[in-house]
Amino acid sequence: MPAPDLDRFDRAILAILQRDARTPQRVIGEAVALSAPAVQRRIRRLEEAGVIRANVAVVEPALVDRGLTIIVEVELDSERADRIDAAKRAFLAAPEVQQCWYVTGEADFVLVVLVATMADYEALTRRLFFADANIRKFRSLVAMDRVKTGLAVPIDP
Amino acid sequence: MPAPDLDRFDRAILAILQRDARTPQRVIGEAVALSAPAVQRRIRRLEEAGVIRANVAVVEPALVDRGLTIIVEVELDSERADRIDAAKRAFLAAPEVQQCWYVTGEADFVLVVLVATMADYEALTRRLFFADANIRKFRSLVAMDRVKTGLAVPIDP
DNA sequence: AATGAAATGAGAGCGCG
DNA sequence: CGCGCTCTCATTTCATT
């Protein structure tokens, strides 16, 4: 799966699909000066190459009882590979953990957690952090405003 | 836009669409024991209610020359409302900033930044942080492993 | 090799009972 | 809410550059 070289058509198509994946290929074609079948072939290639990983619905958390977003920095005691993997698996398995990165620097993990209430978050920390003896400490940053969310990857033209 | 009460059908539909928004309504219908038109009406309602905000293509950053993910914690000097708004606008306008939350706690903002190289990140910090006199300090956490990414909102059944 | 025009087929979007 | 129709859009074919 090598990085395929994308021309300006591919880039333009990606930019559009990241905003609205339902844009008709005919409309995309008009925007990028290509026929609908040409657009279709390019999209197919981008999917096969793994550049387009999925097409997903974006859900508003507040409307499905997940109004609270909390960013969590987690610091481990031991940085042994098997310990790290265990933590990864635990975070991966927790549905409340929307995103998780393993990072360098002053923390080991950064999580984005979605819950309904602080009580739920407290319960989650008990289950996820206090239950694991290898977690030295964690720091919670409560989101007051979701200034920008999304998965859009900048595409330079 | 009040929180609409979602029944188990709506929840099941949302769970499916968050994994693959292209799933045919007929297939969704089979999965949740509903006819395709019923599924369609529910999806439409969910869109009108704002529960489904968009349908977007998920792009693999590494394959479009954005292989470096960095989490940034930003701390402001002044927490005056107009200063905060100015920072929000600046982060919002920067395409490299994929996500941005305004948070309580030891930091004021948490950003998810996507760049190609460390040199690019350095240039971005110059433009975004050092140029703004109101930014007291920032802390960069470089992602070594994207354990979990996505926007999936947990839906309890 | 990739494109565009035209034909085909699948799926979404309707009104109906 | 389900059934069946219509119509848009995705997909394939094929000739062309």
The predicted structure's pLDDT at residue A110: 98
User: pLDDT digits over A69-85, tens only?
Assistant: 999 999 999 989 999 99
Between CA A149 and CA A8 the distance in angstroms is 26
In the predicted model, what is the mean pLDDT of residues B103-117?
Answer: 97
Q: Which two tokens stand for residue B87?
A: 């920072």
Tell me which nucleotides of strand C come within 7 A of a protein CB.
2-6, 10-15
Give B132's pLDDT tier (boundaries 50, 70, 90).
confident
A interface mutation test: which of B7, B13, B44, B55 has the most A CBs within 10 A? B55
**What local confidence, expressed as pLDDT, does residue A140 receive?**
98
Minimum distance, in Å, between the CA of residue A112 and any CA atom of chain B: 9
| % residues pLDDT > 90 (chain A) | 92
Any idea which nucleotide's C1' is nearest the CA of B26? C11
Helix (H, G, I), strand (E, B) or coil at A78: coil
Whether A147 sits inside 8 A of B88 (CB atoms) is: yes
pLDDT higher than threshold 80 for residue B82: yes
Q: Straight-line distance from CA A109 to C1' C4, in Å? A: 51
Q: What is the mean pLDDT of residues A80-97?
A: 96
Q: What is the pLDDT of residue A5?
A: 85
Q: Is B64 in the A-facing interface, judged by CB distances under 8 Å?
A: yes
A window 117-156, beta carbon within 8 A of B: 139-156
Q: CA torsion angle for B61, B64, B69, B75 (degrees, to 10)?
A: -110
CB neighbours of residue A44 within 10 Å: 11
Residue A17 DSSP symbol: H
Average pLDDT over residues B43-68: 97
CA angle, residues B121, B123, B128, in degrees to nearest 5: 90
Kindly state the average pLDDT of the residues B116-132: 96
Q: What is the Cα–Cα distance from B139 to A65, expressed in whole angstroms?
A: 32
- What does DSSP assign to residue B64? G
Q: What is the pLDDT of residues A8-32, one digit of tens each?
A: 999 999 999 999 999 999 999 999 9
Q: Which of A55, A65, A91 sits opposite B22 (nearest CB)?
A: A55
Which pair of structure tokens corresponds to residue A135? Answer: 């977690």
Residues 72-101, chain A: which have Cβ within 8 Å of B? 73, 88, 91-92, 95-101
Identify which of A60, A102, A153 has the shortest CB distance to residue B145.
A102
Tell me the shortest Cα–Cα distance from A82 to chain B, in angstroms: 15
Closest CA to A135 of A81, A73, A93, A70: A73
In tens, the pLDDT along A114-135 reads 999 999 999 999 999 999 889 9
